[in-house]
């Protein structure tokens, strides 16, 4: 009879350990997703800034326009 009690106690503890591991892995997964999302947003904002800069005339083209060329 003691074996059955020990077995259920072991299963209970093992279940709690698995639940803890699952919880930590979900938090880790969320952290990775958040970092990837922030990295993507940063890359998008950099590419948007580069696009805006390329749309503005550069100094050479302005100089040529003012000189009549």
Tell me the C-alpha distance between 18 and 24, whole Å.
10
Arithmetic mean of pLDDT, 16-27: 98
Q: Quickly tell me which residue has 């390329």 as its tokens.
A: 54
Query: 14 vs 45, which has greater pLDDT?
Result: 14
pLDDT of residue 28: 97
Whether this prediction's pTM lies above 0.85 is answered by no
Tens digits of residue pLDDT in 31-66: 999 999 999 998 888 776 666 655 555 666 666 666
Indicate the domain borders of the chain: 2-66
Phi-psi region of 25 (alpha: psi -120 to 50; beta: other; left: phi over 0): alpha
What is the reported pLDDT for 58?
Answer: 65
HSE-up (13 A, CA, CB side) for residue 65: 6
């Amino acid at each position: 009879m003691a074996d059955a009690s020990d077995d259920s106690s072991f299963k209970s503890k093992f279940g709690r350990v698995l639940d803890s591991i699952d919880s930590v892995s979900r938090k880790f997964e969320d952290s990775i997703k958040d970092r990837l999302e922030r990295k993507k947003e940063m890359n998008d904002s950099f590419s948007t800034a580069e696009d805006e800069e390329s749309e503005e005339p550069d100094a050479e083209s302005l100089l040529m326009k003012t000189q009549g060329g």
